[in-house]
């Protein structure tokens, strides 16, 4: 793993130079590890798509480290500003209308007149963005449609030496990608459930958020493809212990017998943090040819967990 570097000030300087030179750097965020490039370098952004095997019609999230950049890139109304001041840095991505219509941003935005922006809540990510001097486009650092990475090792096992540098910042605390909301209409629309609960945003805004199912053929944000986050072996979801087959590696939730338990105490925050790591372990084991997962409640972060496992089990 010659391209994995432990975090240090020197590592950040070298990583920032790679970003400036048009290379790819994988870095930790509180959600998952990202695969980053300079948003204004179309060739570097194209390399993200090529490295992941990701369709170019699937837009990327632009990561920033200060609010001023949000105002420079996009049209920020009072709702977006209030959400940014409340929940950034954090696992919230906002889809807003582009102010910067430079053609260099077209690939990041998949040709749309909107862009997805977030400020990650991780010191390594924020330091890298600041040192690079540009917003960093970054989807999850894994092959397209495979399980998202929550450790530097996961990144290397998925992408290997295709990444110029992988910064090891430990395990990701949230463990599922950011929540994505669309703010381009008068309604607030949930495009992807994620690390910030829908109910938390609704309570802050004082309004109900509309859930969009999205169109996987013309996604307006990341995470809307029908098949996503998928292990290499079949996965069945919402399987009770009684329904589990003998040939299945069982991922449980709550007080039950299983191979791995997302949370024995039914803590959805703990379950979200463990989700992708446990899916990696289930995929890597060789005793069972398939995976089954226990039902997860559809509330709080359970909405994000169910979204991920539904796409991971899609055949």
CA of 120: how far to CAs of 77, 93, 105, 135, 291, in Å? 21, 9, 20, 12, 31
Strand boundaries in 10-132, DSSP class E: 25-27, 34-38, 61-63, 92-97, 114-118
pLDDT at 230: 81
- The encoded tokens of residue 302 equal 């359970």
Contact by Cβ (8 Å): 95, 183: yes
Contact by Cβ (8 Å): 309, 237: yes
pLDDT at 1: 60
End-to-end CA, the chain: 32
Average pLDDT over residues 195-222: 83
pTM as predicted:
0.87
Confidence of residue 215 (pLDDT cuts 50, 70, 90): low
Confidence of residue 218 (pLDDT cuts 50, 70, 90): low
Confidence of residue 312 (pLDDT cuts 50, 70, 90): confident
- DSSP class per residue in 150-161: SSHHHHHHHHGG
Average pLDDT over residues 16-22: 98
pLDDT(136) > 80:
yes
CA distance 229 to 223: 9
pLDDT at 212: 85
Please compute Rg for the chain using Cα positions: 19
Question: Residue 191: which H helix or E strand, with range?
Answer: strand 189-192
Angle value at C-alpha 188, between 185 and 194, nearest 5 degrees: 130
* Number of Cβ atoms within 10 Å of the Cβ of 114: 20
CA distance 85 to 99: 20
Percentage of residues of the chain with pLDDT beyond 70 = 95
Tell me the pLDDT tens digit for each residue of 279-293. 999 999 999 999 999
CA distance 158 to 214: 27
pLDDT(231) > 80:
yes
Tell me if residue 49 falls in helix, strand or coil: helix
Long-range contacts of 210-213 (CB under 8 A, 24+ apart): 212/182
pLDDT at 55: 75
CA distance 70 to 62: 10
Helices (H), 160-297: 198-205, 268-284
User: From its phi and psi, is residue 104 left (phi > 0), alpha (psi between -120 and 50) or beta?
Assistant: alpha
pLDDT(140) > 90:
yes
Domain 4-211 has CATH 3.90.550.10: no
Contact by Cβ (8 Å): 93, 86: no
Tell me the pLDDT tens digit for each residue of 144-172. 888 999 999 999 999 999 999 999 999 99
Q: Considering the domain 235-312 in this protein, what is its CATH number?
A: 3.40.50.11030
pLDDT at 182: 95
Tell me if residue 87 falls in helix, strand or coil: helix
Map out the domains of the chain as residue ranges.
4-211, 235-312
Q: Are strands 136-137 and 189-192 parallel, antiparallel or unpaired?
A: unpaired
Percentage of residues of the chain with pLDDT beyond 90 = 81
Exposure b/e, 153-177, CB count within 10 A at least 16 = b? bbbbbbbeebbbbbbbbeebbbbbb
Tell me the pLDDT tens digit for each residue of 80-132. 999 999 999 999 999 999 998 888 899 899 888 999 999 999 999 999 999 99
């Amino acid at each position: 793993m010659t391209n994995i570097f432990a975090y240090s000030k020197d590592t950040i300087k070298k990583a920032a130079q790679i970003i400036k030179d048009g290379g790819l750097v994988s870095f930790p965020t509180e959600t998952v590890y990202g695969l980053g490039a300079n948003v204004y370098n179309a060739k570097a952004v194209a390399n993200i798509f090529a490295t992941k095997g990701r369709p170019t019609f699937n837009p990327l999230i632009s990561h920033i480290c200060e609010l001023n950049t949000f105002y420079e890139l996009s049209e920020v109304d009072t709702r977006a500003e209030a959400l940014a001041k409340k929940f950034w840095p954090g696992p919230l991505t906002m889809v807003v209308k582009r102010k910067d219509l430079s053609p260099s941003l077209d690939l990041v935005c998949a040709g749309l007149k909107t862009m997805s922006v977030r400020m990650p809540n991780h010191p390594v990510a924020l330091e890298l963005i600041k040192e690079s001097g540009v917003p960093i486009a970054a989807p999850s650092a894994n092959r397209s449609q495979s399980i998202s990475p929550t450790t530097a090792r996961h990144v290397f096992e998925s992408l290997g030496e295709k990444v110029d540098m992988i910064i090891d910042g430990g395990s990701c605390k949230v463990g599922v990608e950011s929540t994505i909301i669309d703010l381009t209409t008068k309604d607030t629309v949930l495009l992807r459930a994620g690390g910030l609960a829908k109910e938390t945003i609704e309570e802050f805004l004082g309004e109900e958020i509309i859930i969009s199912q999205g169109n996987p053929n013309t996604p307006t944000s990341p995470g809307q493809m029908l098949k996503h986050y998928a292990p290499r072996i079949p996965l069945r979801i919402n399987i009770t212990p009684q329904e589990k087959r003998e040939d299945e590696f069982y991922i449980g939730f709550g007080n039950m017998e299983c191979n791995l338990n997302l949370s024995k105490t039914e803590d959805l925050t703990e379950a979200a943090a463990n989700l992708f790591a446990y899916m990696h372990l289930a995929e890597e084991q060789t005793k069972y040819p398939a995976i089954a997962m226990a039902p997860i409640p559809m509330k709080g972060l359970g909405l994000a967990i169910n979204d991920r496992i539904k796409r991971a089990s899609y055949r």
